[in-house]
Amino acid sequence: MACIIQKFGGTSVATLERIKNVANIIANFHQNKRSVIAVVSAMAGVTNKFIGYAHALNVCEGDPEYDYVVSSGELITAGLLAMALRNLGLRAKPYSAWQVPILTDDNYGRAVIQKIDTNNLQKDTAEGIIPVICGFQGINTENRVTTLGRGGSDLTAVAVASAVKADLCEIYSDVDGVYTVDPNLYNEARRIDEISYHEMLEMASQGAKILQEQSVDYAMKKEVVIRVASSFIDNKGTIISGKTPSEGFRGLAVTPSLSQIKIVCQNGPQFCVDLLNKYFIKAEILKNGDPFKFDVLLDKKKITVALRILRNCDSVESARQVISCKPSSRISVIGSSISTKTSNLLINALKTKRIEVSESSLTDHKINLVVLSDKLLESVALLHKHCGLGK
């Protein structure tokens, strides 16, 4: 029997009616002689509520008790979905991470999966039982609950798909695929039918919210084919696979709000950027004449974790947040064969509309452009048209 992993995000399981809808999606696949393993997130808003409780008690990411609290929402979802499946006449069994088990390292808040024991899952599927796994969770060698970072249910699904050698890993949310840019920022965004791991990894790493970056990286290394689709409408979605990257521009990824960190480090700025990159935190080095005292820009949502990583490193003398009076955003233009000439053309296109680019950088596959946040929407619209992404 073919095996498929189906992961459902917080919006897909936000209410009991939506959980019933998810149960119907799973039932349709299961009745077509396909073995299904479900992975679920917490109901929309629940994890953020628990994070607020932890913060109110002065506990932040990186603390064992923090992981214990913020990962508990998935338990409720898994149990409710198993009940809904049973109401359809199907056998289902909810699993927390320790029951699978999903073994991780001790890096609380951003744990790395070490091993997944598939014996229980394979026994269940062989008997026609649908396992419903709590996403986002892991268990370490001390039998403590760990979490896999925000959006970690995506990683759970991909890792389980690899472990059981599933034919496909489906990621369901309220978005019906991968778009050329976030449709909430630009209503002329276009859905992409198929995209390569490398292209998706660039988009995820630079702010595209459709998939957790670590999950794409894991899928690429393990060659797990992903389908991104909506649980609310029936369409093909987007396939993410090892296909050859396309020529030209593929999409825009946006980080709406940036923060600045001032660092003193004798190993230089690239050492700190590489250190943060190990934890999937992308930082831009700001132009500075001092090789040991410098500033970096990064996603505001990751500022607390980034400061903790830097301050825990013996090579970093100091790291502190700089409060800017001019909020900035980053637009990453993703594509192939990108050159300095290409970058200059885009910067000049923005300048013609009196939009200043305060910082820019490029690699072979992306151009990062930093603009003032009050110019973000105008910049996205202009770049989307200039790059021909609406075709």
Distance from C-alpha of 326 to C-alpha of 323, rounded to nearest angstrom: 9
391: confidence class by pLDDT, cuts 50, 70, 90: low
269 and 344 both lie in a single domain: no
Q: Are residues 28 and 103 in the same domain?
A: yes
- pTM equals 0.89
The string of pLDDT tens digits covering residues 212-231 is 999 999 999 999 999 999 99
In a domain, 201, yes or no: no
Q: 323-364 pLDDT, tens per residue?
A: 876 899 999 999 987 889 999 999 999 999 999 999 898 888
Measured CA distances, 319 to 272, 276, 307, 314, 372 (Å):
10, 13, 6, 12, 24
CA trace torsion 345, 347, 350, 354 (10° rounding): -130
Task: Say if residue 291 is preceded by a cis peptide, omega within 30 of 0.
Answer: no
Buried b (16+ CB within 10 A) or exposed e, 83-119: bbbeeeebebbbbbbbebbbbbeebbbbbbbeebeee
Label residue 78 by pLDDT band (50, 70, 90).
very high
142 with 275, same domain: the answer is no
Return the closest-CA partner of residue 193 out of 217, 162, 228: 228
List, for residues 29-62, the tens digit of each pLDDT value: 988 778 999 999 999 999 999 999 999 999 988 8
pLDDT in tens, 115-164: 999 999 999 999 999 999 999 999 999 999 999 998 999 999 999 999 99
Does one domain contain both 306 and 364? no
Q: Is 41 a member of any domain?
A: yes
The structural domain count of the chain equals: 3
**SS3 assignment, position 85:** helix
Residue from 71, 12, 69 nearest 44 by CA = 12
Residue 262: domain span? 258-322
Residues 45 and 157 in one domain: yes
User: CA 325 → CA 33, 258, 344, distances in Å?
Assistant: 59, 12, 27
CATH of the domain at 289: 3.30.70.260
pLDDT exceeds cutoff 80 at 249: yes
Q: Do 359 and 297 meet the contact criterion of CB atoms below 8 Å apart? A: yes
Which of 311, 298, 299, 303 minimizes the C-alpha distance to 263? 311
Q: Do 37 and 142 fall within a single domain?
A: yes
Which of 273, 289, 322 is the last residue before a domain boundary? 322
The larger pLDDT score, comparing residue 177 to residue 391, is at 177
Residues 7 and 42 in one domain: yes
Residue 102 lies in a domain: yes
Examine the domain organization and report whether 120 and 162 are in the same domain: yes
**Is 333 part of any domain?**
yes
Mean pLDDT across the chain: 93
Residue 229: strand pairing partners: 172
Residues 297 and 341 in one domain: no
Q: 């496909």: which residue's tokens?
A: 168
Residues 161 and 102 in one domain: yes
pLDDT band at 282 (very low <50, low <70, confident <90, very high): confident
CB 206 within 8 A of CB 255: yes
Total residue length of the chain? 391
Q: Output the pLDDT for position 186.
A: 94
The verdict on residue 204 lying in a domain is no
What share of the chain has pLDDT > 90, as a percent?
80
| 159 and 17, same domain (yes or no) | yes
Q: Which of 67-81, 92-106, 198-212 shows the lowest mean pLDDT across its residues?
A: 198-212
Of 287, 322, 357, the residue that ends a domain is 322
